[in-house]
Structure 1
């Protein structure tokens, strides 16, 4: 199993209502706190990382889930 598949399993193991809160609490350098959209789930240093775009301006954003 790849590290990205493992990260996706860890992400999906988080209850849905908590995932929604995490998706909606991402920092954008242009907009401040925003929601991440069109994201992919990856892994970095054994932690889950969401990489996507800001819902407001479309800039690249990321969220580390530890």
Structure 2
């Protein structure tokens, strides 16, 4: 399997895990991300979902300052 197909498969698996969470839970997670630049909890924007060893991670930008932020989510 080439790298592009592997990345697409990982993205699919990560998205499947993300969508397995209730909609309300997903909304809460998106609005509850720590930004070290703002030194506050913020909303993540323009995020991608990546599969990790323990679940998934949201990688995106802070709604307030635009700096990069991330949120790890443990999923069985």
* TM-score, structure 1 normalization: 0.92
Ranges in structure 1 where 5+ consecutive residues have no aligned partner: none
Bigger RCO (CA 8 Å, 6+ sep)? 1
Query: Whose helix fraction is larger, Structure 1's or Structure 2's?
Result: 2
Q: Indicate the RMSD between aligned Cα atoms, in angstroms.
A: 1.3
Ranges in structure 2 where 5+ consecutive residues have no aligned partner: 1-7
Aligned partner of 1:58 in structure 2 is 66
SS at match of 1:2: helix
Query: Whose strand fraction is larger, Structure 1's or Structure 2's?
Result: 1
* TM-score, structure 2 normalization: 0.80
After TM superposition, the runs of 4+ consecutive aligned structure 1 residues lying more than 4 A away are: none
